[in-house]
Structure 1
Amino acid sequence: MESAIGVLVSQFKKYAGSDGSPNTLSRDEFRRLVASELRNFVKNAADPTATDQLMSSLDKNNDGELNFLEFWQLIGHLASEHGGFSQ
């Protein structure tokens, strides 16, 4: 599990560092991350409107960016669904 966490953190940093703050994902960074890394887990991952809606639902402080904890909510949700734990 430690290696999986390491991969998640490094991928977040890779995309977060492409423009703006290195600690948050902008809308464009989030779109690129989802389309490239989560295309089989996120429905309509290539659709900018769908990813914008997804990002808005995760952006709890409404600052237009996702910090790691906001992003982690998505990972937890996807892992639950993939593992058959969602209701």
Structure 2
Amino acid sequence: MEAAIAVLVAQFKAFAGADGSTDTLSKGEFQNLVTSQLPNLVKNSADPAVIEQLMSSLDQNDDGELTFLEFWQLVGRLANQHGGFSR
């Protein structure tokens, strides 16, 4: 599990760093991450409306960016669904 966490953190920082800051994902960075890294788990990820709705549901402080903790909610939701725990 440690390796999986290291990969998640590294991927977040890599995508977040596109604008110079590795602390948060902008909407564009988030869309790039989701479409390239989660295409089979996030349906219609290329649709801007899907990204907008998903980002809004994660962005707890409504600042238009996602912190790692806000992004982590998505990881948890997807893992829960993928593992069949959400039934």
Structure 1 unpaired stretches of 5+: none
Letter in 1 for 2:13: K
Q: TM-score, normalised on structure 2?
A: 0.96
Q: TM-score, normalised on structure 1?
A: 0.96
Match of 1:13 in 2: 13
> Aligned-pair RMSD on alpha carbons?
0.8
How many pairs does the alignment contain? 87
Query: SS of the counterpart of 1:85?
Result: coil
CA contact (8 A) 1:25 1:67 kept: yes
Deviation at 1:72, TM superposition (A): 0.1
Distance 2:8 2:75 in 1: 9
Deviation at 1:51, TM superposition (A): 0.7
Deviations 1:12-67 (A, max 9, x none): 00000001522000000000000000010001111111011100110000000000
Find out whether 1:82 has 2:82 as its counterpart.
Answer: yes
Kindly report structure 1 stretches of 4+ aligned residues shifted beyond 3 Å: none
Match of 2:64 in 1: 64
The 5-angstrom pairing of residues 32-71 of structure 1 reads 32-71=32-71
Structure 2 unpaired stretches of 5+: none
Identity of aligned residues (%): 67
